[in-house]
């Protein structure tokens, strides 16, 4: 009898948690602040682990911002992978019809690749190998889902002292459907110029491919090797000059494929340049690494390898079996139907609310059955959270870590990485056999990466230093 009562009490606790899950988190301090809102570190009292909670305020003030938030939240739910930043939870708002702010719970990480590169001038071959492998593994998963990130750079690759990397900031990402008009698909492309593929510098081709991300990965890897950006262009023209200074003038058949008249004319009239040998440009790098880098940085996108082909490169021999790396099913067009029609703020509010319910299974079930109301019977605890955030925001800067002003666009991973890519204690409940199978395979492969590379990988690859005095350096999505 007593045991039955205990079970009933536990069920009630779990039930109330669905409606009041803000009580689950103990806020520690403000770790970031910007035009989007505020980010606090917190303790998840259910797991004891640290998380980062981002308050995004007034998300419906501008519908374009609301659509970007919807797009990114949706993509991070669909792209569950060990090398991609994870949303742990989105808190339930007190009202379905009237909410303006959302609170997103992320996994937490210590730094990003930009800071790691700045703080370390002695990264080893094993660091180079492991870093590039993880980035390409994330690309393979994304690209098999037909998702292009479009804004890859060191600040959007999160890192910790365990050498774990995670791709974040999907604000510019897009899903490529076969009938999507290219002009619409790319009109808002404003990614960082230094890591932008040459075909995007001058609208070179009529159809873009995942090779745009592969180029960015090549630029990032070159920066890992040398400690400084490879192509720090001051303008689009300067960017093309720097690229051709290294790679040489592209052949006539490549120039002929350029659809932008001005870009084509510029390349045709450019003085003839010979390519610089990569061994000369990167004198201290592993020859196998340079051979792969040269493939990643091919001027013509069709000459670049896919992520899967790059993972099979001899540079990674013995690290893991590429065929075991998980792929993703192409994302359904229905998930992004809102991109194909004119939507109102109320439409986007409903769609974001629907995404929030993905983290509240019981309410999602009620929603799908048409039995949930617009106001909840039990409080969501967001009001209490709002007061706590407001207090910390008001007192931000009086104590605690200082966040560099340039770190306004970030995503937040966890503070430690286990040998299993998804720790058993916090492993999410997958909704399909395929997702579960993917997680199991990814976990096995990560162990294989560590074991196959042997003790040499662990002993020769000391943890990269996190910059002194910076406890939390975040790359927060949805900026």
Residues recognised as catalytic: 151
Query: Distances from the Cα of 242 to the Cαs of 141, 294, 372, in angstroms?
Result: 31, 15, 58
For the chain, give me the number of helices (H) and strands (E)?
Answer: 18, 10
The closest of 385, 388, 412, 391 to 32, measured between CA atoms, is 412
Cα separation, 162 vs 416, whole angstroms:
7
The long-range contacts involving 219-223, CB below 8 angstroms and separated by at least 24 positions, are 219/153, 219/194, 219/195, 219/297, 220/113, 220/135, 220/152, 220/153, 220/154, 220/157, 220/195, 221/128, 221/131, 221/132, 221/135, 221/289, 221/293, 221/296, 222/282, 222/293, 222/297, 223/117, 223/154
446, 82 Cβ separation under 8 angstroms: yes
Helix crossing, 287-296 with 125-144: angle to 10°?
30
Q: Coil, strand or helix: which one is 444?
A: helix
17, 30 Cβ separation under 8 angstroms: no
Helix (H) or strand (E) holding 445: helix 433-452
Residue 210 has which token pair?
Answer: 């995942």
229, 194 Cβ separation under 8 angstroms: yes
The closest of 356, 478, 472, 479 to 40, measured between CA atoms, is 472
Q: Is 55 annotated as a binding residue?
A: yes
Q: Coil, strand or helix: which one is 234?
A: coil
The closest of 274, 272, 278 to 292, measured between CA atoms, is 278
Cα separation, 166 vs 113, whole angstroms:
10
What are the start-end ranges of the E strands in 165-311?
165-167, 174-175
Residue 465 has which token pair?
Answer: 């230093």
> How do 157-159 and 147-148 pair as beta strands?
unpaired
279, 287 Cβ separation under 8 angstroms: yes
Binding positions for ATP: 55
Binding positions: 55
């Amino acid at each position: 009898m007593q045991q039955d009562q205990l079970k009933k009490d536990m069920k009630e606790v779990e039930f109330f948690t669905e409606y009041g899950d803000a009580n689950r988190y103990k806020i520690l301090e403000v770790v970031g602040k910007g035009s989007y809102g505020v980010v606090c570190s917190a303790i998840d009292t259910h797991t004891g682990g640290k998380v980062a909670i981002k308050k995004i305020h007034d998300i419906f003030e501008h519908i374009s911002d609301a659509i970007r938030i919807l797009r990114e939240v949706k993509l991070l739910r669909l792209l569950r992978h060990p090398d991609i930043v994870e949303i742990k939870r989105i808190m339930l708002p007190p009202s379905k019809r009237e909410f303006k702010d959302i609170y997103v719970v992320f996994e937490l990480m210590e730094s990003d690749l930009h800071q790691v590169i700045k703080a370390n001038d002695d990264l080893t071959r094993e660091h180079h190998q492991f870093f590039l492998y993880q980035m390409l593994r994330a690309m393979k998963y994304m690209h098999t889902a037909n998702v292009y990130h479009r804004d890859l750079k060191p600040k959007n690759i999160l890192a910790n002292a365990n050498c774990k990397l995670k791709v974040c900031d999907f604000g510019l990402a897009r899903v490529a459907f076969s009938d999507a008009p290219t002009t619409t698909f790319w009109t808002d492309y404003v990614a960082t110029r230094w890591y932008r593929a040459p075909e995007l510098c001058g609208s070179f081709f009529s159809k873009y491919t995942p090779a745009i991300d592969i180029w960015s990965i090549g630029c990032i890897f070159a920066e890992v090797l040398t400690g400084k950006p490879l192509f720090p262009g001051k303008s689009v023209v300067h960017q093309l000059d720097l690229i051709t200074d290294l790679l040489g003038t592209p052949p006539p058949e490549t120039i002929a494929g350029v659809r932008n008249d001005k870009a084509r004319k510029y390349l045709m009239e450019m003085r003839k340049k010979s390519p610089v040998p990569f061994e000369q440009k990167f004198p201290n790098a592993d020859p196998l690494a340079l051979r792969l880098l040269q493939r990643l940085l091919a001027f013509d996108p069709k000459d670049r390898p896919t992520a899967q082909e790059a993972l099979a490169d001899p540079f990674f021999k013995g690290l893991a079996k590429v065929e075991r790396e998980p792929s993703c099913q192409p994302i359904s067009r229905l998930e992004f139907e809102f991109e194909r029609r004119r939507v109102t703020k109320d439409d986007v509010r409903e769609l974001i609310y629907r995404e929030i319910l993905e983290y509240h299974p019981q309410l999602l079930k009620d929603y799908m059955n048409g039995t949930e109301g617009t106001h909840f019977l039990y409080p969501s605890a967001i009001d209490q959270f709002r007061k706590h955030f407001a207090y910390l925001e008001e007192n931000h800067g009086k104590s605690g870590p200082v966040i560099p002003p340039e770190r306004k666009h970030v995503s937040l991973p966890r503070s430690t990485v286990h040998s299993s890519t998804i720790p058993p204690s916090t492993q999410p409940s997958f909704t399909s056999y395929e997702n579960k199978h993917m997680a199991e395979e990814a976990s096995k492969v990560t162990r294989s990466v560590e074991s196959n590379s042997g003790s040499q990988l662990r002993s020769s690859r000391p943890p990269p230093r996190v910059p002194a005095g910076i406890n939390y350096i975040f790359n927060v999505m949805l900026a």
